[in-house]
Structure formats: C-alpha cells, structure tokens
Chains A and B, each alone.
Chain A
Amino acid sequence: MHSFWLSETCWILRLEEAADTEQRLRQIETAIQQEFSEEIVETVSTTQSIGVYIKPCISTKKLEELPELWRQLANRKVVEQEVVRNVIQIPVVYGGEEGPDLEIVAEHAGLTPQEVIELHTSVIYPVRMIGFAPGFPYLSGLPEAIHAPRKTTPRSSIPAGSVGIAGGQTGVYSISTPGGWQIIGRTTTELFLPDQQPPSLAQAGDAIQFVAVERGEEDA
C-alpha cells in the first residue's frame, strides 16, 4: 500500500495488485465516503487506486491528520462477500460502418471476423472503473486471442456508442471524442445519462455483456 498527496487537497491511496484488490478498493472507498462525508468533496476510484478530494476549507492541521486515519481504515480486514454483479446487456452491431476495424482485429488475431465477434460476446466483463470520459467503462477480461494494439494515429472523432479494443482492454465510447482504440462495433445504448442519478449506466463493480445484433434490431 502506498499513499501520497497529488495536490494540496487530493490524496491518493494505491494498492498492490492482488486477487482481492477490486473488493478491497470498493470497501475502502465506501468507508471513506460514509465516515468522512464532512471532510471530503468526492472520491474517484481506478483499478488500483482511490483518489480522495478534500474540501478546500479544511484546516491544514486536519489535512495532515486525515491520511493516517484513512491508512488505518484501509488496513481493516476485507469483509469476504460473494461478488454479485449487476450484469448490463449491451446490443452491438459488429463490423461494417459501425465497426470499421473489425477486419483489422480479425487479421491481427488470425481469426475470421465472425470468430472475433463470438469471442467478444463470450465473456461477462467486470467494470473496473469509469473514467476518461463520462460513463466510459474500463472492462477487464478480454480474451487474449483478440487483444489488439491501438491505432498508430488516433481518429479525430469516434461516434458515441463505438465499441473498441486497446491492448487487453475493451470498452464503449460513451460520448463522441477523439480516440485510438480499434473500433469493432457500435451500440445505440446510451452510457452517459446526464439527466439521471447516477449519470452513468454502468458503475464500477457492475459487469457488461455484449450481444451481437443486426442493424435495426438494436432495440428489439
């Protein structure tokens, strides 16, 4: 476990990668949110770390005391719980205009496009974090056979809903943005929901399963 201040008011705790990292992070984050709601603005968790944003009005003395309390909290024993994931099914039109890089990924893998689709839809992917863009899920568990390098030159604009692969990661572009992932398909499911609370369809701890559909069948 390693912890440090990123800024005057942002403190980061990083855990070593271990089998229970995901569960441990969730429990530490929940405990900090519940026990320190007076002192903090918000927390942000990534696959191995938690960032804690502290209210700027908190006194310097208090700021210096908080990390020790949080380290103690982080050292509490992880409560063994069966991981129950909320599985979100996302219909995807693979290939063609929606997935211009499907052929590239297939070629890189030495597979047919259909085999890539079958592999990509065969896994229930845990959502490790939401980051990079609003509602953008970082998913783990992509089958190794379809790992693929990023594009050498990023596209200047990728449409919202694009499903991509970058190295061993897969994810969905929740908003239209520049990006370098290999795009293999697209969904009409909206992942960023600015009018809802929470504003993200997927949360860290959920899971996503992609389902191959034909164009026009997305909502069926």
Chain B
Amino acid sequence: MLEVIHPGPFTTIQDLGRSGFQRYGVSVTGAMDPQASSLANLIVGNEPQDAVLEITFTGAKFQFHQPTLFAVTGADMLIQLDGIELKGGRPISVSGGEVLHFVNLRAGCRGYLAVHGGLEVPEVMGSRSTFLRAGIGGLEGRALRKGDKIPYAPCGQDKQALADWHVPTDLWWKKEKVRVLKGPEVNRFDSEQLDKFTSEPYTISPQSDRMGYRLQGTLLKSQDATELVSEPVTFGTIQVPSGGEPIVLMADRQTTGGYPRIGQVIQVDLPILAQKKPGDRVQFEFVSLEEARKLAAAFRQWQQDIKTSIEVRRRQDAQ
C-alpha cells in the first residue's frame, strides 16, 4: 500500500485511458504524457497500460508500506527517497517504510510513479484513469488527498538495491517546437493568420488543465463566422473560439466540439505540450500527415527497442 503523506498540488491515478465509451460522451482521459507513463511501467516490468500516479508540479510525498519496485519518469524533478537524492528512469526497490519525496521541479510539468504490478484501484469501464469531471475512476474519481492509501501487490523483493542501468526520460519532450497537421477548418483562416499562428510563440495560460490548454499570444481571426455543427475532437485538437485564443484539447477533452479546428498536434509531439506548465512557451509548425505517420512509426519502433532492452536488463538483474 502506498500512503499519501502529501498529495502535492494535483496528483491523480491514470493509465492509458478509457476508450470505447466516447459514443456515450465519456472522455478518454489517461496519462497526459503517455510515453512517460508507459516507460515507467516498462521499467518495473509492467504492461504499458498499468495504473500509475501522475504528479503535477512538485511537493508530493508518499510512503511505501510494502516491498516493491518503483520507477519515476516524466518531468525533470529532484526526487529523494528517505532524504537521499535519486535519479529517475531506473527501477528502485524498497522494503517498506521508505518515503519518496518530489522535492522540486527543474523542467517539465508532470512526473509519473509506477510500482511493480500497477496500482490496484478498481477498473471503471475498463480503465483505472481518473475522470475528474464525472467523478469516476482512479481513487473515488478524485485527486489524491493526504492520508489516502492506494493498494498494490507487494512484490517480495526486499533487497534495497539500485539497478546499474537507466533509460533516458526526457528525449521526447524537452522541446519548444510542436508539429501540427492542418485542421478540418484551417481554411477559415487566411494565409496571414496562419503565418502568425506558426511564426510567433504562444504561452500556456494559467487557465490550463488536463482538459485543455488555453494559449496566449496572437489572436486568430476566422474569416467565416458560420456556426459549425459539433464533430468529434481528440487529444491535440486545436480549436479557435470566436475570441481568437487557441485552445489545445488534452487528455480529459470532451468527445465532441463545435469550434473551428485550425490544427491537430501530431501524436509524437503531444508529450511536449503535456510537459509544459503555465507560462511556458510553444511554437507551432505545420507538417504533412505522411510525415506525422512516419514519425509515429519510428517512435513505436524506438519504444519497442527500449522495451526489449529493458527486458534484457531486468532478466540480468534477476540472476
């Protein structure tokens, strides 16, 4: 069992999302940086979709009450186990009683904590992800509070040993440039507007959360004000309401939307946004669908290679 000594500003349980229920208006949710959550799971020998903690900003403190193996990925954070600094991206074993503290944030926004076997909260509609607005999933459908106790299966490794290997955890998100596909309503914006969209950086506004990021910067004027009928929207869809401030839909996005969609953040660049916090900047660049798919395929291959090498290392560690 993992006890919450201090939840930090915002910590929830997430997996890779609740798919199959969007037709009923149920948001997919899931980790904002699915690459990081998958990697944390792989490091401790889990499946990529197992439930992890998503820790926003810093200050969170947890106590392990049973032996397990854990890993931290995602944002670049200073973490301490019983006051001793640790590096992320590697498996760390605990025997029970240790306190893990997310001391401060150097870069990024969200850290992921995976424990061997995954966090054992009940599945709701096939997923353990917290869907905050609907109050379902995760722990009682809410963000974690002080004193919460999250079950996990003790894994029996009682030796306090540090593995001598680690995987890089920041290769895919420490960037400012975010590549986007042209959106279905891109033609509502003239070339001057589109130049502005891609030439000037946008700042993540404080009114940003897991549902969407509001962007501050050049306001975009649509040349066609006809009302749109609601259509599906997805993770990374960039909408422009009449006020002109773009909104990027994130993990807790609604299933459908009625604002003009100027662009769509490509899959491999979603973690760049997920790791931005209010005040950070992004710069958009249009790419083709063909290019986006090539990048996605290359990324899947890279993930597969990492998975294979982690498995090899874990087998060596076990010997």
Tell yes or no: A204 within 8 A of B by CB. Answer: yes
Tell yes or no: B205 within 8 A of A by CB. Answer: no
When C-beta atoms are compared, the residue in chain A nearest to B255 turns out to be A131
Interface magnitude class on chain B: 35 or more
- CB within 8 A of B184: which of A6, A53, A199? A6
Interface size on A, residues (CB 8 A): 44
Q: Which 10 A-B pairs rank lowest in CB-CB distance, beginning with the nearest?
A: A51-B232, A131-B256, A200-B24, A134-B25, A134-B26, A130-B25, A44-B22, A44-B232, A194-B136, A49-B231
Of residues 84 to 118 in A, which have CB atoms within 8 Å of B's CB atoms?
Answer: none
A134 touches B134 (CB 8 A): yes
**Closest chain A CB from B138 CB (angstroms):** 12
Tell yes or no: B68 within 8 A of A by CB. Answer: no
18 contacts between A and B (CB under 8 A): A5-B181, A6-B184, A6-B234, A7-B235, A12-B231, A43-B23, A44-B232, A45-B23, A46-B232, A51-B231, A63-B293, A131-B25, A132-B25, A133-B254, A134-B21, A134-B24, A199-B21, A199-B26
Tell yes or no: A121 within 8 A of B by CB. Answer: no
Tell yes or no: B296 within 8 A of A by CB. Answer: yes
Tell yes or no: A14 within 8 A of B by CB. Answer: yes
B19 touches A42 (CB 8 A): yes
Tell me which residues across on chain B come within 8 A of A203, comparing CB atoms. Answer: 24
**Closest chain A CB from B141 CB (angstroms):** 9
Q: Which residues of A contact B (CB under 8 A)?
A: 4-10, 12, 14, 41-49, 51, 53, 56-57, 60, 63, 129-136, 138, 174-175, 177, 192, 194-195, 198-200, 203-204
Tell me which residues across on chain A come within 8 A of B236, comparing CB atoms. Answer: 7
B230 touches A46 (CB 8 A): yes
Tell me which residues across on chain B come within 8 A of A44, comparing CB atoms. Answer: 22-23, 232, 255-256
A194 touches B231 (CB 8 A): no
A7 touches B22 (CB 8 A): no
